[in-house]
């Protein structure tokens, strides 16, 4: 029987894999894109804000044709106490105009559209096919095994774009099981509401959207955030917390999302909405310190499979696209050199290192350990800030100077001067 051979096999049709496959096919290479889902996007979950950069370099003015939800013109952060909120907001209508900053997307629609672009460029998409192993000749990866009968597929080089908990990286011995403190479990509901209701309720111009991140007491001391993102006729509502925290605290994701939804200041935003879908997915949030080796002889690792997520800025899909682009560039260089060994493929890591991808992850390399060891940012401070606001805004005959003293006394009593200094230093070490 003839061997099935391609120039490149890409495993996983998310933003990383589709980008690599699309760019390589455009250069005339024979590319297979293998996806376990019924179609690209079928199994993919995101909050999600999809940043226009770097997608606009891959498909200029993609917003003219892509199935996008809303252009995000406002970002909000709400710190929730048990019954109130303090909110911060940045709104810029220019973010809602070309070249746009970010869009809300529903990945099942978006990935399907993007993969169709790749198919039109010549990529052979093989859906409903699980990759179950890699094929090696000595140290060189030369193909993949699939769950299909006689399903070996050979290639000069394999791109692992199979998402968080990448089986391909494990088969290649690049990393083992991800530690539960390096990964977040996110749960998300899609809640349907009429388009006009969403625009009135969130004070949006037609076609524009808002993202709201939540921190506070509803997290029960866990490291994580909640979110609401506005789509055209739905809201994406969810919570993501470190997997180790869910396990250690024994909190049910279902209960926590219900707590968020029934919070007195969140509830009115969701009123009369109908839950259409409930989804759960892991997010690799270990940051720079958790990066596995990103290449080996005959294989490159991209996107979530490579742990390329900037959790503090909710950036993952854009890093996945950047890595897919760098993988494609590196493969074209390797093809020219006729050498797919780690020595040549190492250029991929160099490209990532020199870009904002690794520079940003490096900048926040202290963030996860510091946040994990200091939970006050997620619960104590939202409470203290809202108590202070409550005291200061409430008119009850108490003189303002006395109120000021009461606020400071409350803060020092809850956290202490040493604690506050420590937290300020931690915050500085996270952002510096």
Ligand X SMILES: Cc1cc2nc3c(=O)[nH]c(=O)nc-3n(C[C@H](O)[C@H](O)[C@H](O)COP(=O)(O)OP(=O)(O)OC[C@H]3O[C@@H](n4cnc5c(N)ncnc54)[C@H](O)[C@@H]3O)c2cc1C
Tell me which residues touch ligand X (CB under 6 A). Answer: 11-17, 34-37, 43-49, 130-131, 161-163, 167, 186, 188, 238, 240, 281, 283, 303-305, 309, 314-318, 320
What are the phi and psi torsion angles at 410 (to 5°)?
-60, -45
Nearest alpha carbon to residue 293 among 359, 365, 361, 348: 348
Q: Provide the 10 A C-beta neighbour count for residue 223.
A: 23
Return d(Cα 115, Cα 414) in angstroms, integer: 53
Of 236 and 380, which CB lies nearer to ligand X in the complex structure? 236
Of 14 and 253, which CB lies nearer to ligand X in the complex structure? 14
What are the CA-CA distances from residue 356 to residues 318, 361, 412 (Å)?
11, 8, 39
Helices (H) and strands (E) in the chain, counts: 16, 17
Give per-residue burial for 281-301: e unless 16+ CB within 10 Å, then b. bbbbbbbbebbbebbbbbbbb
Of 161 and 358, which CB lies nearer to ligand X in the complex structure? 161
Give per-residue burial for 375-398: e unless 16+ CB within 10 Å, then b. ebbbbbbbbbbbbbbebeeeeeee
Return d(Cα 90, Cα 245) in angstroms, integer: 30
Q: How far is the CB of 18 from ligand X (least distance, A)?
A: 7
Return d(Cα 348, Cα 302) in angstroms, integer: 10
In sequence order, the 6+-apart residues with CB closer than 8 A to the CB of 60 are none
Q: How far is the CB of 240 from ligand X (least distance, A)?
A: 6
Of 52 and 386, which CB lies nearer to ligand X in the complex structure? 52
What are the phi and psi torsion angles at 282 (to 5°)?
-90, 150
Q: How far is the CB of 9 from ligand X (least distance, A)?
A: 11
Q: How far is the CB of 73 from ligand X (least distance, A)?
A: 15
Q: Provide the 10 A C-beta neighbour count for residue 24.
A: 30
Helix, strand, or coil here: 343?
A: helix
Q: How far is the CB of 25 from ligand X (least distance, A)?
A: 17
Q: How far is the CB of 416 from ligand X (least distance, A)?
A: 35
Of 36 and 261, which CB lies nearer to ligand X in the complex structure? 36
What are the CA-CA distances from residue 29 to residues 46, 111, 123, 237 (Å)?
30, 21, 9, 41
Of 319 and 334, which CB lies nearer to ligand X in the complex structure? 319
Q: How far is the CB of 162 from ligand X (least distance, A)?
A: 4
Tokens read off for 133: 């192993």
Of 15 and 426, which CB lies nearer to ligand X in the complex structure? 15
Q: How far is the CB of 250 from ligand X (least distance, A)?
A: 21
Q: How far is the CB of 392 from ligand X (least distance, A)?
A: 34
Of 72 and 79, which CB lies nearer to ligand X in the complex structure? 72
Of 186 and 430, which CB lies nearer to ligand X in the complex structure? 186
């Amino acid at each position: 029987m003839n061997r099935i051979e391609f120039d490149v096999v890409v495993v996983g049709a998310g933003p990383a894999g589709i980008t690599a496959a699309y760019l390589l096919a455009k250069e005339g290479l024979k590319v297979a894109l293998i996806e376990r889902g019924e179609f690209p996007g079928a199994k993919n979950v995101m909050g999600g804000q999809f940043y226009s950069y770097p997608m606009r370099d891959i498909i200029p003015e993609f917003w003219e044709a892509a199935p996008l939800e809303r252009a995000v013109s406002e970002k909000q952060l709400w710190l929730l106490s048990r019954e109130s909120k303090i909110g911060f907001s940045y709104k810029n209508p220019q973010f809602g105009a070309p070249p746009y900053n970010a869009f809300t997307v529903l990945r099942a629609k978006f990935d399907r559209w993007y993969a169709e672009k790749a198919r039109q460029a010549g990529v052979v998409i093989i859906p409903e096919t699980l990759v179950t192993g890699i094929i090696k000749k000595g140290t060189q990866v030369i193909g993949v095994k699939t769950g299909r009968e006689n399903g070996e597929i050979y290639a000069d080089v394999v791109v692992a774009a199979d998402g968080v908990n990448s089986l391909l990286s494990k088969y290649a011995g690049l990393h083992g099981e991800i530690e539960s403190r390096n990964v977040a479990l996110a749960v998300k509901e899609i809640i349907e509401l009429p388009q006009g209701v969403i625009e009135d309720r969130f004070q949006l111009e037609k076609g524009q959207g808002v993202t709201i991140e939540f921190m506070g007491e509803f997290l029960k001391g866990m490291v994580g955030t909640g979110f609401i993102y506005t789509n055209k006729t739905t809201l994406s509502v969810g919570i993501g917390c470190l997997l180790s925290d869910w396990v250690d605290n024994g909190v049910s994701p279902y209960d926590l999302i219900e707590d968020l939804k029934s919070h007195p200041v969140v509830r009115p935003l969701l009123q009369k909405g109908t839950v259409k879908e409930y989804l759960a997915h892991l997010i690799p949030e270990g940051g720079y310190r958790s990066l596995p080796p990103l290449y080996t002889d005959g294989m490159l690792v991209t996107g979530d499979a490579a742990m390329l997520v900037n959790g503090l800025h909710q950036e993952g899909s854009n890093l996945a696209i950047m890595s897919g682009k760098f993988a494609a560039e590196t493969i074209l260089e390797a093809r020219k050199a006729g050498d797919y060994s780690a020595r040549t493929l190492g250029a991929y890591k160099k490209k990532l290192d020199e870009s904002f991808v690794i520079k940003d992850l490096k900048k926040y390399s202290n963030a996860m350990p510091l946040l994990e060891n200091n939970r006050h940012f997620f619960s104590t401070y939202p409470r203290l800030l809202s108590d202070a606001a409550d005291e200061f805004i409430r008119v009850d005959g108490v003189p303002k100077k006395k109120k000021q003293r009461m606020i400071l006394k409350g803060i020092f009593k809850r956290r202490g001067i040493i604690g506050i200094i420590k937290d300020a230093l931690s915050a500085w070490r996270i952002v510096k």
